[in-house]
């Protein structure tokens, strides 16, 4: 797993003076013109993913499958965290955007792929380029769906917004069930197996990087302001609607990419796999990790993906244990399982 | 024309069930301000209680049916109170999102526990009440549909009576208006909330039996879709508003059967409820009968 190019979201306490080492480091980076730390982390993350991917042939197939599932869930959880955690808009439609990306990118590789690549062995480069294009197309379509859903529904708040996004997610699912060209209710089969470790974790790194940079930029303070107090944010001249729609669109884009990765991992997608229970799963990751806490959300995504796998020996009871743990965790640690910032409001 | 009338009757019996479920959602939302996801699973459990009890009373008799219905409502109420006591009460006063996740956890627990206890394969629901089919010209109405509509109307009327004519009902209204102020004038919030859960869950359990009479194949996941639609109905009518929930249920039930019965749109049956919801919320964000709250800074 690559280093997460996450930013240090807890500012160091104002009392601590810049140490000598710090000033030396800054002088050094000034002379060498090192790119900012998070960019380095991004590059390191992508490089790590690609290097591991080169050796993925020697990895256990089951392990690889679980690791890719973990990666996809991290993308979903971190992107939803931008909407639910940082911006404070409770969305229950993430699986809907995921399905848009999954279907669109699968359609690209299945229908356009043979035309663009020809029927022989296309070679790794062409195949990967096609996959990248398909993922981007899926993500962009999901983002478009995000704008279309966001503009009307973001006028609503709280539970109403949750329900409308849930409704949109279900409507998207029913629409896919009715498109016969995409398999209809039977599901869309024969998707090529393009998802690799490298692609998945490259996107994981990109997602964490984008969300991190967006939220920690000057512009991004608007997301947090919208979360903390919408009226106050508007009264100082922030266009909260625009922030909400931006968060929604970026979140939907990465959900779409995750959907594309998912489709090319499972090789067959079914509209029922993107129902509201899937959205809930992602929301649970965000809340368990501590809303707005990127590291916590990543860990929660890893834990909650591994938990059912660990419980596989007791397969009969595994969902019962999972749901029971969920209740106990919420009762025991209401601030989020992995949120350790006590006593201080999250930013 | 006859077909339209037939669909309207079918829609009325489906809508009556949605209304029963929606009432529970709306009451809990009124006092606690969160979506009780487990409500739909109490509906499912009610249906299974009916299934097991139904084997112990004479089939297709009026008194047998009534006994099962009442016992099921009692069982549902007990389950609702227990869930509130052990899962929701410890989190009261915390962020609503946590309660929401707990509710989802309880819902998953009931669904998966149900699959463990009852088995995942669908069962055939017994015929509890006497069955007859009435023919008016080309219009067919079954006694089951009439029972559903009748029982639902009776329960809704009784609920209205409880809420507006009893002391407990007054306390419920007070808590839903302002919990702190209600507490200050001596209302025991815990009792009121337990009572609200008991009422709502009893209605959901009754709804489970009525639903299974018309759609007699029951399984542990049967509550999910009706639950979602009933909550949609509650929002449609204006959340926290009791007549609104009943109205929303009827509208959604009617719309769903009309769309399901039409030739081209029948596969969109499950989407229509959400479509209506979105349109209504865009133009009347507080729902059909809800009052718009002004946000004060």
User: Nearest-CA residue of chain A relative to B269?
Assistant: A174
Best B35, B37, B100 member to test A by mutation, with max A CBs in 10 Å, is B100
Q: Is residue A4 part of a domain?
A: no
Q: Is the pLDDT of residue A95 over 70?
A: yes
Q: Is residue A295 part of a domain?
A: yes
Q: Which structure tokens are listed for A342?
A: 């006590």
| Smallest Cα distance from A74 to chain B, Å | 19
Which value, in Å, is the radius of gyration of the alpha carbons in chain A? 21
Query: φ and ψ at B217, to 5 degrees?
Result: -120, 115
Residue B46: exposure state from Cβ atoms within 10 A (0-12, 13-18, ≥19) = buried
User: Cβ of B104 under 8 Å from any chain A Cβ?
Assistant: yes
- Cα–chain center distance at B257: 18
DSSP state of A333: -
β-strands B217-218, B123-124 pairing: antiparallel
Report the complex ipTM: 0.82
The pLDDT score that the predictor gives to residue B127 is: 87
Dist CA B75 CA B160 (whole Å) = 22
CB-closest option in B90, B270, B278 to A174: B270
Give the contacts of A314 (CB within 8 A, at least 6 positions apart).
Answer: A321
| Smallest Cα distance from A267 to chain B, Å | 25
Who has greater pLDDT, A40 or B119? B119
Dist CA B169 CA B161 (whole Å) = 8
Helix (H, G, I), strand (E, B) or coil at A242: helix
Helix (H, G, I), strand (E, B) or coil at A243: helix
Give A307's Cβ-side CA count (13 Å radius): 19
Residue A258: domain span = 36-332
Dist CA A334 CA A337 (whole Å) = 8
User: Which one, of B56, B96, B93, lies nearest residue B72 by Cα?
Assistant: B56
Dist CA B271 CA A328 (whole Å) = 34
Residue B191: domain span = 2-223
CA dihedral A118, A119, A120, A124 (to 10 degrees): 60
CB-closest option in B29, B104, B109 to A284: B104
Q: How far are the Cα atoms of A38, B15, B205 from residue B40, in angstroms, in the given order? A: 46, 15, 9
pLDDT in tens, A210-246: 998 888 888 888 898 988 888 899 899 888 888 999 9
The answer to whether residues A195 and A264 touch, using CB atoms and an 8 Å cutoff, is yes
Q: Is residue B161 part of a domain?
A: yes
Q: Is residue A24 part of a domain?
A: no
Give the contacts of A12 (CB within 8 A, at least 6 positions apart).
Answer: none
Angle at B149 between CA B145 and CA B154, to 5 degrees: 145
Work out the percent of chain A whose per-residue pLDDT is above 90: 26
Mean pLDDT over residues A123-152, rounded? 89
Q: Is residue A29 part of a domain?
A: no
Q: Is residue B186 part of a domain?
A: yes
Between A and B, how many residue pairs show a Cβ–Cβ distance under 8 A? 109
Q: Is residue B251 part of a domain?
A: no
Name the band, by pLDDT with cuts 50, 70 and 90, for residue A120.
Answer: low
The pLDDT score that the predictor gives to residue A310 is: 87
The pLDDT score that the predictor gives to residue A339 is: 65
β-strands B139-142, B133-136 pairing: antiparallel
CA dihedral B149, B152, B155, B160 (to 10 degrees): -90
Q: How many CB atoms sit inside 10 A of residue B215's CB?
A: 14
Q: What is the pTM of this model?
A: 0.81
The answer to whether residues A117 and A190 touch, using CB atoms and an 8 Å cutoff, is no
Q: Is residue A28 part of a domain?
A: no
Q: Is the pLDDT of residue A295 over 50?
A: yes
CATH of the domain at A249: 1.10.3470
Residue A45: exposure state from Cβ atoms within 10 A (0-12, 13-18, ≥19) = buried
| Smallest Cα distance from B291 to chain A, Å | 14
Mean pLDDT over residues A83-109, rounded? 91
DSSP characters over B130-177: ---EEEETTEEEEHHHHHHHHHHHHHHHHHHHHHHHSHHHHHHHHHHH
Q: Which residue has the tokens 């949605």?
A: B18
Q: Is residue B263 part of a domain?
A: no
| Smallest Cα distance from A282 to chain B, Å | 11
Q: Which structure tokens are listed for B119?
A: 């088995």
Contact B116 A175 (CB under 8 A): no
The pLDDT score that the predictor gives to residue B251 is: 92
DSSP state of A11: P
Q: How many independent structural domains does chain A possess? A: 1
Average pLDDT, chain A: 82
Q: CA end-to-end span of chain A, whole Å?
A: 27
CA dihedral A256, A259, A264, A265 (to 10 degrees): 140
Helix (H, G, I), strand (E, B) or coil at A285: helix
User: Cβ of B34 under 8 Å from any chain A Cβ?
Assistant: yes
Dist CA A164 CA A175 (whole Å) = 16
Q: Is residue B117 part of a domain?
A: yes
> How big is chain B, counted in residues?
297
Dist CA B230 CA B26 (whole Å) = 10
Cβ contacts of B29 on chain A, cutoff 8 Å: 159
| Smallest Cα distance from B269 to chain A, Å | 9
Helix (H, G, I), strand (E, B) or coil at A188: strand
- Cα–chain center distance at A11: 25
Q: How many independent structural domains does chain B possess? A: 1
The pLDDT score that the predictor gives to residue B220 is: 92
Cβ contacts of B90 on chain A, cutoff 8 Å: 331
Q: Is the pLDDT of residue A9 over 70?
A: no
Cβ contacts of B94 on chain A, cutoff 8 Å: 334
The answer to whether the Cα torsion of B95, B100, B105, B109 is positive or negative is: positive
The pLDDT score that the predictor gives to residue A343 is: 42
Contact A163 B232 (CB under 8 A): yes
pLDDT in tens, chain B (297 residues): 788 888 888 899 999 999 999 999 999 888 888 888 899 999 999 999 999 998 888 888 888 889 999 999 999 999 999 999 999 999 888 777 778 888 888 999 999 999 999 988 899 998 888 888 888 888 888 888 898 999 999 999 999 999 999 999 999 999 988 889 999 999 999 999 999 999 999 999 999 999 999 888 899 989 988 998 998 898 888 887 888 999 999 999 999 998 888 777 777 887 888 888 888 877 887 888 877 655 555
Q: Is residue A262 part of a domain?
A: yes
User: Cβ of B279 under 8 Å from any chain A Cβ?
Assistant: no
Q: Where are the beta strands (DSSP E) in A208-322?
A: none
The answer to whether residues A95 and A278 touch, using CB atoms and an 8 Å cutoff, is yes
Give the contacts of A315 (CB within 8 A, at least 6 positions apart).
Answer: none
The pLDDT score that the predictor gives to residue A34 is: 55
- Cα–chain center distance at B251: 14
Dist CA B249 CA B23 (whole Å) = 9
The answer to whether residues A267 and A190 touch, using CB atoms and an 8 Å cutoff, is yes
Q: Is residue A344 part of a domain?
A: no
The answer to whether residues B17 and B204 touch, using CB atoms and an 8 Å cutoff, is no
DSSP state of B88: I
Mean pLDDT over residues A85-107, rounded? 91
Q: Which residue has the tokens 């197309």?
A: A137
Give the contacts of A180 (CB within 8 A, at least 6 positions apart).
Answer: none
Q: Is residue A30 part of a domain?
A: no
Who has greater pLDDT, A127 or A77? A77
Q: Is residue B195 part of a domain?
A: yes
């Amino acid at each position: 797993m690559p280093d997460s190019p996450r930013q240090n979201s807890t500012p160091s306490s104002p009392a601590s003076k810049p140490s000598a080492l710090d000033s030396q480091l800054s002088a050094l980076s000034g002379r060498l013109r090192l790119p900012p730390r998070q960019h380095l982390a991004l590059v390191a993350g992508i490089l790590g993913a690609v290097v591991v991917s080169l050796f993925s042939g020697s990895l256990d197939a089951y392990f690889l499958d679980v690791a890719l599932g973990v990666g996809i869930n991290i993308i979903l959880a971190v992107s939803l965290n931008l909407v639910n955690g940082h911006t404070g808009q409770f969305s229950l439609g993430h699986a809907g955007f995921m399905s848009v990306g999954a279907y669109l990118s699968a359609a690209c590789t299945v229908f356009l792929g043979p035309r663009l690549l020809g029927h022989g062995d296309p070679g790794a480069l062409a195949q990967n380029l096609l996959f990248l294009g398909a993922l981007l197309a899926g993500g962009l379509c999901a983002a478009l769906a995000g704008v279309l859903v966001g503009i009307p529904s973001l006028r609503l708040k709280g539970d109403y917004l949750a329900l409308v996004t849930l409704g949109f997610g279900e409507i998207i699912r029913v629409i896919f069930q009715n498109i016969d060209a995409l398999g209809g209710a039977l599901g869309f089969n024969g998707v090529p197996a393009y998802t690799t470790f490298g692609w998945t974790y490259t996107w994981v790194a990109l997602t964490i990087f984008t969300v991190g940079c967006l939220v920690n930029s000057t512009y991004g303070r608007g997301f947090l302001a919208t979360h903390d107090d919408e009226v106050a944010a508007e009264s100082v001249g922030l266009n909260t609607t625009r922030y909400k729609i931006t968060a929604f669109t970026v979140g939907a884009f990465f959900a779409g990419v995750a959907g594309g990765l998912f489709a090319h991992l499972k090789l067959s997608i079914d509209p029922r796999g993107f129902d509201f229970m899937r959205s809930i799963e992602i929301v649970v990751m965000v809340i368990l990790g501590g809303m707005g806490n990127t590291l916590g959300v990543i860990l929660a995504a890893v834990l909650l993906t591994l938990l059912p796998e660990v419980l596989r020996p007791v397969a009969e009871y595994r969902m019962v244990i999972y749901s029971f743990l969920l209740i106990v965790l919420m009762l025991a640690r209401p601030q989020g399982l992995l949120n350790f910032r006590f006593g201080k409001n999250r930013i | 024309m006859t077909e339209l009338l037939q669909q309207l009757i079918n829609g009325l019996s489906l809508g009556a069930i949605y209304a029963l479920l929606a009432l529970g959602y709306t009451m809990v939302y009124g006092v606690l301000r969160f979506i009780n996801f487990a409500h739909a699973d109490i509906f499912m459990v009610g249906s299974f209680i009916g299934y097991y009890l139904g084997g112990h009373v004479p089939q297709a008799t009026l008194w047998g049916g009534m006994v099962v219905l009442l016992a099921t409502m009692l069982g549902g109420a007990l389950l609702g109170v227990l869930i509130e006591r052990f899962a929701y009460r410890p989190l009261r006063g915390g962020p609503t999102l946590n309660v929401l996740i707990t509710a989802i956890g309880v819902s998953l627990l009931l669904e998966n526990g149900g699959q463990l206890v009852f088995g995942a394969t669908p069962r055939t629901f017994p015929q509890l009440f006497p069955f007859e089919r009435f023919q008016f010209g080309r219009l067919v109405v079954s006694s089951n549909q009439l029972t559903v509509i009748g029982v639902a109307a009776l329960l809704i009327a009784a609920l209205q009576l409880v809420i507006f004519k009893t002391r407990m009902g007054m306390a419920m209204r007070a808590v839903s208006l302002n919990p702190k102020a209600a507490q200050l004038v001596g209302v025991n919030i815990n009792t009121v909330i337990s009572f609200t859960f008991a009422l709502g869950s009893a209605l959901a359990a009754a709804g489970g039996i009525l639903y299974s009479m018309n759609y007699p194949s029951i399984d542990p996941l049967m509550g999910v879709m009706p639950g979602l639609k009933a909550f949609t109905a509650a929002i449609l009518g204006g959340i926290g508003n009791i007549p609104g929930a009943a109205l929303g249920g009827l509208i959604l039930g009617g719309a769903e059967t009309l769309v399901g019965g039409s030739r081209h749109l029948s596969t969109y049956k499950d989407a229509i409820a959400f479509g209506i919801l979105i349109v209504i919320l865009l133009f009347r964000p507080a729902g059909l009968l809800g009052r718009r709250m002004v946000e004060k800074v």
